[in-house]
Chains A and B, each alone.
Chain A
Amino acid sequence: MSSSNSVEGSYSKRCAACKHLRRRCAEDCVLAPYFPATHPERFECVHKIFGAGNVARMLKAIPVQERAQAADSLSAEAYWRVQDPVYGSTGIVIQTNQEISSTQCELAKIRAQISMYEAQMATEQQPPPPGLPQQQGSLGSQENMPMFEPNDPFNFLN
């Protein structure tokens, strides 16, 4: 039984996907550039959550120059889903939204304190003449802060 070195050679160059699926890795394998044999766990994760067929189909539908980012984002989502089978990457969305809400609250409190200090300083330094409005201080940071509306898919924040 003679084994062809070229066949063995091509088998040893199989990508992680084709190795896992025990098939020949074609020259134009769509998964090969993004799931190298050196990182089998990356493909196993993605295959477990999305399925090899779905991943291949999704990558084929994307322009070649964007496939690497797509493969990375699919791997990240699959990894998060394996870590958290209930919420997956949505859990990170919820967590980050909560962080935004609490930071906005803290910022609003501190800005209210700043306004109080400014009002106090204005009163101490320049008492307004009767009948005229108080002058506003200029130290508060008044740049437009986009009040981000948290995207709360499951209404967990209420």
Chain B
Amino acid sequence: MGGNTPCASCKLLRRRCAKECIFAPYFPPEDPHKFAIVHKVFGASNVSKMLQDLPVHQRADAVSSLVYEANARMRDPVYGCVGAISYLQHQVSQLQMQLAVAQAEILCFQMQQQDSSSPSMAQKECSHKSSL
């Protein structure tokens, strides 16, 4: 941040925004809510330590993920981001079950094609598998 405009974090914390302020590149003054939410959940000093421990080229992504998690925690104070992960993992389980059923159907068709000499046996197996 150049000139006299403090970044969102220094504005909120009511301090002078130094030239080398670690927050300034990621918390512009135009979006005060972004820092407010991260500060509320993680605390400014924890965020500062986390960013200091990271190489510069990874800090933007780190801030984005912290903002995402802070928002998730504000929306769901009990489960936060973990709630979203549980929901997604449930989706994965459902999809994997559907995939298993579909793969079984494909096998059935393939068996039918291979076993063209005894179509009655293949049809019986197919109807059995479909009823699973």
- Chain A residues close to B by CB (< 8 Å): 48-51, 53-54, 58, 61-62, 66, 69-70, 72-74, 76-77, 81, 85-93, 96-97, 99-100, 103-104, 106-107, 110-111, 113-114, 117, 121, 139-141, 143, 145-146, 148, 151, 153-154
Q: A89, B81: Cβ atoms under 8 Å?
A: yes
- A/B interface sample: 16 pairs, CB < 8 A: A49-B50, A51-B46, A66-B78, A69-B79, A70-B77, A70-B78, A72-B82, A73-B81, A76-B82, A85-B54, A88-B65, A88-B81, A89-B85, A90-B69, A117-B106, A141-B105
Q: B69, A88: Cβ atoms under 8 Å?
A: yes
Contacts A77-B81, A145-B98; is A88 near B66 (CB within 8 Å)? Answer: yes
Instruction: Determine if B32 is an interface residue (Cβ-Cβ < 8 Å).
Output: no
- Which one, A51, A54, A89, contacts B82 given CB within 8 A? A89
CB distance from A82 to the nearest CB of B (A): 10
Contacts A107-B99, A153-B68; is A113 near B106 (CB within 8 Å)? Answer: yes
Q: A104, B95: Cβ atoms under 8 Å?
A: yes
Given contacts A85-B50, A86-B62, A154-B64, 8 further A-B pairs with CB under 8 A are: A51-B43, A73-B78, A87-B61, A87-B62, A96-B85, A110-B99, A113-B106, A117-B106
Pairs of residues from A and B, 10 with the lowest C-beta to C-beta distance, nearest first: A90-B65, A73-B82, A117-B109, A96-B88, A103-B95, A110-B102, A51-B43, A89-B81, A153-B68, A70-B78
Chain A proximity mask over B66-101: 1 for CB below 8 Å, otherwise 0:
101100010001111111110011011001101101
Q: B42, A141: Cβ atoms under 8 Å?
A: no
Chain A proximity mask over B36-53: 1 for CB below 8 Å, otherwise 0:
000011110110001001
Q: A100, B77: Cβ atoms under 8 Å?
A: no
Residues of A near B43 (CB, < 8 A) are 50-51, 53-54
CB distance from B94 to the nearest CB of A (A): 8
| Bound form: Cα–Cα A81–B68 in Å | 13
Interface residues of A, dominant DSSP:
helix
Q: How many residues of B contact A (CB 8 A)?
A: 44
Residues of A near B99 (CB, < 8 A) are 103, 106-107, 110
Identify which of residues 94-127 in chain B touch chain A, using a CB-to-CB cut-off of 8 Å.
Answer: 95-96, 98-99, 101-103, 105-106, 109, 112, 126
In the complex formed, the residue of A with least CB distance to B46 is: A51
Considering residues B50, B82, B99, which has the most beta carbons from chain A within 10 angstroms of its beta carbon? B82
Q: B42, A114: Cβ atoms under 8 Å?
A: no
| Bound form: Cα–Cα A49–B130 in Å | 50
- Which one, B46, B92, B95, contacts A48 given CB within 8 A? B46
Considering residues B53, B69, B73, B112, which has the most beta carbons from chain A within 10 angstroms of its beta carbon? B69
